[in-house]
Amino acid sequence: MTAIYHALIGPLIKQARRLAAGDGPRASGGIGLALGGGFARGFAHVGVFQVLEEEQIPIACIAGTSVGSILGAAYASGVPLPRIAAVCRGIRFRDFSRWRISRLGLASNDRISELVRRCFDARTFEELLIPTAVLATDLGTGEPVVITRGELTPALRASCAFPGLFEPVQVDGRCLADGGLAAPVPTRAAAQMGPHCVVGVSVGFNNWNGEAPKNLFQVVSRAVSAAQKNGGVSWEAAADILLEPDVQTIDWDEFHRADEAIAAGADAARRALPRIRELLRMPASAQPEAIRPSTGATGWPEGQALR
C-alpha cells in the first residue's frame, strides 16, 4: 500500500500543492525573499515567514545563504511553520555538525543530511513548492555560486560551510564554502528569479561593540564582516526593502533563544507590511490596524533598512 501511495497518490498531492502555492507561470507574482546567514540569529527568518503567511503576502521565490538557505528550503518544501519553529527551538550544534579536525576545518556539517531527511518534505530543488536558490562561494574563484537544481543536501551543506569552522563541500567538482562570503544577503539572486519586488532579511554576525573577539569563530566572522563592510555592500542595492530584525544581542550559538529571534523577525516584518503592500499594489484596507506603524509612514525609499 505504501508503494502505491508513493507511486500514484504522492505525486498528485505534490502537484496540487505546487499549484496552490503559485509555482510555475505564477511564480513572479509576489515578493522575492533574500534570507541572510547568521546561525542562531537566522531563526528570525521564521518570524518573517509567519507574518507574510498570516497576511497572505505571496512569496514568488526564495534565495538563501547559510541558515537562510536551510529555513528557506524547508519552507519551500512545504513544511508547516509550527513544525519549523519547533525544530528551531530544539536544535543544537551537535544536531547538524560534528567535530572532525582536518587540514580544511575543525568540524564537518555532514549531519545536515540527516536534518534534511528527517525534517524536509522534499529532497531535490525540483520538488520544492516555491522556486528556491541556495548561495555558496567557490573557493577556487571567489565567485558566488547560485544552486537551483539537483539534490538539496549538498547545496545546503556548502551554503553553511563557514570557513575555519566547517570543512568546505565538494559540489560538481567545485570546492564550495559559506554563501555569506560572496552574498551575505542574496538579494541579487532573488532579483534574478523575477519577483515583483525583493525583500532582504539581514541578521548579521557582529555587534561591533568595540570588544575583542573571544574565540576562533568570532575572529573569522569579524574578519569577513570587516572586509564586506569596508568593501561596500552592493547587495543592498538589489533590495526594495531591507529588514534588519533586532537580534544583535543573540550570539551565533545561542540556539536556545529561538523564540526571541522569531519574535524579532516577526516584528520587523510587521513594520514592513505597508511598504510591501505598496510595492505589490495590494489594497491598504486589507492590512489590520493593529500592525500599522505608529507614525503611519509608508513611503520608505528603496533599500530602506527596517530595524
Helix (H) or strand (E) holding 287: none
Q: Is 178 a catalytic residue?
A: yes
120 vs 275: CA distance, rounded Å: 32
- Of the residues 178, 202, 221, 240, only one is catalytic, namely 178
Instruction: Identify residue 111 by its one-letter amino acid code.
Output: R
Are 306 and 242 in contact by the 8 Å Cβ rule? The answer is: yes
- Of the residues 23, 66, 69, 221, only one is catalytic, namely 66
220 vs 214: CA distance, rounded Å: 11
What residues form DSSP beta bridges with 176?
Answer: 138, 169
Per-residue DSSP letters for 226-275?
Answer: HHHHHT--GGGGG-SEEE--S-TTS-TT-GGGHHHHHHHHHHHHHHHHHH
Per-residue DSSP letters for 36-74?
Answer: ---GGGGGHHHHHHHHHHHTT--EEEEEEETHHHHHHHH
The C-alpha cell 528551531 sits at 88
Which residues belong to the active site? 66, 178
